[in-house]
Amino acid sequence: MTIVLLGYMGSGKSTVGKILAKKQSLEFIDFDDYIVENEKLSIPEIFKQKGEIYFRKIEGNYLKQLLQDNKDAVISLGGGTPCFGNNMEYILKATPNVFYLKLTAEKLVERLLPEKEQRPLVKDIPNAEMLEFIRKHLFERNFFYLKSPNIISVNDELPEEIAVLVQEKLA
C-alpha cells in the first residue's frame, strides 16, 4: 500500500507520516530526503548550484521512479512537489491513498515563524509579510492540492489524531 501525504510546508506531513507508517507497519519516505540522498546535495544546495528548473525536473523524475516502484510506504512530499509538471497526475494514478493536510494560512504562519531559518522559501520574508505570502502561495497551489481525493482539515489536532483520521479513510 502506498500512502501519499501532501500539503504546504509546516502542515505536518513528515510528523504525521512517521506516525502513520509506524501504525500501518510501512516504510516512511520523506521525499525531500529521498532527493537529497540521490543527488548527494541538500535541497538549498541543489537550488543554489543547479537552479530551480533543474530541481523541478529531477523532482518529477524521482517522484515517477518512486511511485513506479510500488513501494509499500508512506511518502511525505515536499510542499511544491504536486504543483509542477505532471506530478499530481503521477500521484493520482499511483494510489487512491492521497491525503492533503489542509491548514489555514494563519495556522501555517504560527507554525512556520519559529522555524523560519530552516525554511529556505520563507527565510527572507519579513515576519509582517508572512501571512500575505502564504495566502498568495496557497491560492496558487490549491489548484493542485484540491485534486487530492482525501482532504483533511488540520488545525488544532495532534499528529496522532491526524494519523487516525488518515487511517479511517484508507482505500
CATH of the structural domain 2-169, one choice from 3.40.50.150, 3.40.50.2020, 3.40.50.300, 1.10.1070.11: 3.40.50.300
18 band by pLDDT with thresholds 50, 70 and 90 = very high
Q: Output the known binding site.
A: 10-15, 32, 56, 79, 119, 141
Q: Output the known binding site for ATP.
A: 10-15, 119
Give the per-residue SS3 of the chain: CEEEEECCCCCCHHHHHHHHHHHHCCEEEEHHHHHHHHHCCCHHHHHHHHHHHHHHHHHHHHHHHHHHCCCCEEEECCCCHHHCCCHHHHHHHHCCCEEEEECCHHHHHHHHHHHHHHCCCCCCCCHHHHHHHHHHHHHHHHHHHCCCCEEEECCCCCHHHHHHHHHHHCC
What's the pLDDT tens digit per position in 112-168?
A: 988 887 777 788 899 999 999 999 999 999 999 999 999 999 988 999 999 999 999
52 band by pLDDT with thresholds 50, 70 and 90 = confident
pTM, whole model, 2 decimals? 0.93
The pLDDT of residue 70 is above 80:
no
With the C-alpha atoms ordered 67, 81, 104, 22, is the resulting torsion angle positive or negative? positive
Averaged pLDDT for residues 4-32: 96
Averaged pLDDT for residues 82-111: 95
> What confidence score (pLDDT) does residue 171 get?
75
Q: Output the known binding site for Mg(2+).
A: 14
Q: Output the known binding site for substrate.
A: 32, 56, 79, 141
State what percent of residues in the chain have pLDDT above 90. Answer: 82
> What confidence score (pLDDT) does residue 50 get?
92
